[in-house]
Structure 1
Amino acid sequence: MGTPSLHLNSHEQGLVLEMVEALGSSLKLGEVLDQAYGLLARLLPADCAAMCVSQPELPGGYDWVVTQMPEAFVTHYGELSAVDFVREAVVHQPNVVLRDSEMVAPRALERTALYQRCHEIGFPMEHVMSVLLDPRGDWHGGLTLYRERQRPFSDKDRALLQRLTPLLVNTVRNCRLLGHESRRATLLDTLFHHQGAECVVLAAPGREVMRTEHVTPLLERWFSPLERAPGGLPLALLAPLTRPSSAMGLEAPPPPPAWLREGPVMDLRVTYVPLPPDGQGRREWALLLRETPHGTPLPDAWRERLTPREMEVVAGVLRGWDNQLIADDLKCSLGTVKKHLQHVFDKLGVSSRAALLHHAARKR
C-alpha cells in the first residue's frame, strides 16, 4: 500500500507546525495529546475520535486520553470490542494508517457486526480511519477517527495522518518514559532524604539498583559477612522479596512486614516500600533502613489511663520517633497519630512531646 505525495496549503502547513510544537510542549501526556488533537481535528475533520494508551502495570487496562465519542459507544464498548474489526486490523500493521476500505472488503462495511451494533445504539458510524501507535516497547497506543456521514477518508487524509504518526509515537513514548522517570526520581529523592533513614532500591529478583551513601557501613555494623549475600545485602532482607509468593512482577505483592533487629543500645528497623514500575514495567522496592535508640520505658501508671493504640503512639514518642515514623510503623495516617497524641496529652495533663518525655523520665 503506497503513500501518495502530500501537498499542503499554507494554512495546513501552519497547523502541522503548531501540532509539532504542541507535541513537544510538555511531558504530561493527557495535556499534550488533548492540545494536539484540537489541531488535528482542524486538519482531519471527524465527527468522533478516540485515543488510548495501554497501561503495562494493569494488563488489559487503557488510559483513554481523548474520548470525543458518544456516551453510548463508551458504555457499550465492552461488548463492541468483541466485534471491533478496526482493532483487529491495526494490530497486524502497527504504525500504518488504515481506512475502513483497507480493513474490510469493498462494500462490506455495512454488513459488519460493529457497523450494525453501532447503528443500533444510536452511533451512525459510516467511515473510520485508525492507526496503532507502537513504540516497540511493552505498551502501545491507538488513534481512531470516525465519520457519521457518507464522506470517506481520502488518500490525502491517510497520507497526512501517516506523516504525523511518527511524531505521535515519539510523543507518547517520551511522555510515558521521561514523565515516569521524572516521577520516580522525585519519589526516590524523597525516600533518600527521609529523616534518619538510609535506602536501598532493589529490582527482581533481589538485584540492587542503587543505595544511599551510608548503607554499606550500616549493613556491616548489623550483619556479619556470613549473613550477607555476595553483593553485600543481608540474606534476611532479600528473603521476603525472592519467595515465589512474593515475586516482583507486574502485579506487585503487598509489602512485606517491617523487619526488626534489636541491639543492646539501638534497634534496626527495615521498611519495604513498593515503587512504581520502571520504564520497562518491572516492579522495584525501596528498603528504608533506620537505626533507632532504645527509648524510655512506658510508665506502668500510664497503662491504666491510655488505650492500647495510645500506648503504641506514646511508645514511639519515647523511642525518639517523629509523627511520620510512628504513622508508618502503625500503618495509619499522620492525622490519626496527631489525634491520638492530643488525647494522650489531655489524659496525662501535659502540653507537649517534650513534657511527655520529661514526665516519663521522672517516673522511671
Structure 2
Amino acid sequence: MRASIHLTAREQRITWELLEILHSSLDLHEVLRGAYGALCQLVPADHGALCVSLPGDPTAYDWAVADLPPELFAGYAELARHDFVRSAVIARPNVVLRDSEMLPRRSIEGSVMYRRSRELGMRLEQAMAVLLAVEPGWHGGITLYRDRRRPFSDRDRALLHRLAPSIAAATRSCRRFGDSVRRGDALEAALRREGIEVLVVAPPASVLARSAEAEALLERWFTAVERSAGALPVPLAGALGAAAAEPAAGAWAAPWVRRTSRGELRADFVPFVDRGRTFWVVELREAAVAAAPAAWRGRLTDRQVEVAERVMRGWDNALIAEDLGCAQATVKKHLQRVYDALGVPSRTALMAYAAQRC
C-alpha cells in the first residue's frame, strides 16, 4: 500500500516526469538513471545507488546507477556481508528503511562500509534504502546517502515509499522484455514464458496474441457473459484499465486475484514499449486447491482441515472467514487448535510442515 501523502504542485510535476521516464524505455540503465535523477529532485541526496541482482550470486549486482566512487563497488562481493544497509533491507523487502532503523549510530560508525567510505574521502552519514522484491530469484535495490548529519525525514521516506512500486514494476519490465525488444521479437518472447499463460494486449482491451492454453484457462475461470471474442474478460479489462490509469499509485505492480473453492487465478500486468507503442502482457497463473497431507486428517476435524488448507494457499483470516461463512474469531480459534494438534507455532511453520509432509 502506498504512503498517504499530499503532494505539492512541484512534487506532482516531478512525480509524473519520473513515471514518464519509467514508461519511456526498456533499457534498464537508461530507465534507472532517469528515475534516479528525478527521485533526487524529490528526495535530496548526495549519493545514491540503484541496482539489480544477477542470477546465481545474491551478492552480485548490475549497478545501473552508482553515484559513488567506483572503488567502493570494485570489491563489493567481499564487502557485501559487511553492508549493513543491504542486510537490513533484505530482512524487510519492500519496506523503506532509514539508517536509524538499520543499526545504532555507534555500530554504523564502526562498520566496515562506513570506514571504507571514509578511506575514499566520503562521509556517508545518513542512508535510506528499500529492497524491491520484484521477482522470485532476483531483486532490485535503491539506496540514497547524505554526507552530512541531516537525517532523511518522514516525508522523504513517504515519497520513496510511494514511488518504489512503480520503479520495481519498470525494473521488472526491463528485465523481462528489454533484450527481446532490442531484437524486435518482444511479443513472441512474452508468449514463450514458461509456467504461465500469457495474453498480449493493446489498450484498452484488445487481445493481440495468446499462449497455447490461455483460452482454455479463461473458459475455466470466467463466465460466458464475462468473456468476449478478441478481448480481455470484463474483470481483467477493468483491472488493466485501473492499472494503466494510476501508475503513481503503483497499481500496475499489484496482481488481480480471483479465488474460488477450487483454487485461485492470479493476473499480473506488465507494460512494455515496442516500436514506440505501449502494450501490456497479462500473465495468468493458476493455483489448485492446496490439499492437507493425509496424515493430518486423523488429527484434525473436517473444519480444521478446511482452515488449514486455506492457510496453505496464503489466505488471511478475513478471506478464510468469508469463504467458510463464519466469523474471523472462529477462524482464529480453529487455527490455534490446528497449531496445537500439529505442534507448530505459526502460519509459516504450518506451510513449511505441509511441504515436508507432501
What TM-score, normalized by structure 2, do the two folds share?
Answer: 0.49
What TM-score, normalized by structure 1, do the two folds share?
Answer: 0.48
Higher normalized strand content (fraction of residues): 2
The structure with more radius of gyration: 1
